[in-house]
Amino acid sequence: MNKNSIRIKLNSFDSDLLQNDFEQLYVKLQVLLNTLSKINFISQSIKKSIVVALPLPKKKRIFCVLRSPHVNKDSREHFEIRTYRRLIIITYISSNSIFLSYILDIIRKHEFQPGVSCRFFKIEP
C-alpha cells in the first residue's frame, strides 16, 4: 500500500482572514473524513488517514525608500510586507482515487475570502 499525501498551503497578508479560512477548511476536511469513514467501500483507507495542521513562519520583507530625491539622505521611510502562511497535510493510504477526488472537490468549492490564496500539491512516494 502506498502512503500518499496532499499538502494545502494558504497564504495571506492579513492574519485574521487567513485564520478564518484555515479553520473553516480544516473543519470541512475533518467532517469529510468522518463521513467517509462510515462508508464501507472506502473505510479501510480513510480510517488510517491523518490530517495535520501546521502554522508556518511569517515572511517579512522590508523596503527602504528615500523621502527626498535630492538631499537629506538620512531621511528615509521603511515599509514592510508580512506574509502569513498555514499548511494542512493530509496523509492517506489508498490506491483509490475517489478519496482524492472528494478532497479536491472540497478545496475547489471552498470560497476563500479575498486576500487568501491556496495552493495544493499531491505528493507520491
Can you tell me the distance from the alpha carbon of 38 to that of 91, in angstroms, rounded to the nearest whole number?
18
Q: Domains of the chain (ranges plus CATH)? A: 4-57+85-123 (3.30.70)
Strand partners, 6: 90, 122
Please give the Cα distance from 50 to 120 (Å, whole number).
16
Angle among Cα 95, 106, 103 to the nearest 5 degrees reads 15
What pLDDT is attached to residue 60? 94
Which helix (H) or strand (E) is 3 found in, with range? strand 3-12
pLDDT tens sequence across 71-119? 777 888 999 999 999 998 888 766 666 777 777 888 888 888 898 988 8
Q: What is the mean pLDDT of residues 14-21?
A: 90
Closest CA to 111 of 36, 7, 32, 17: 17
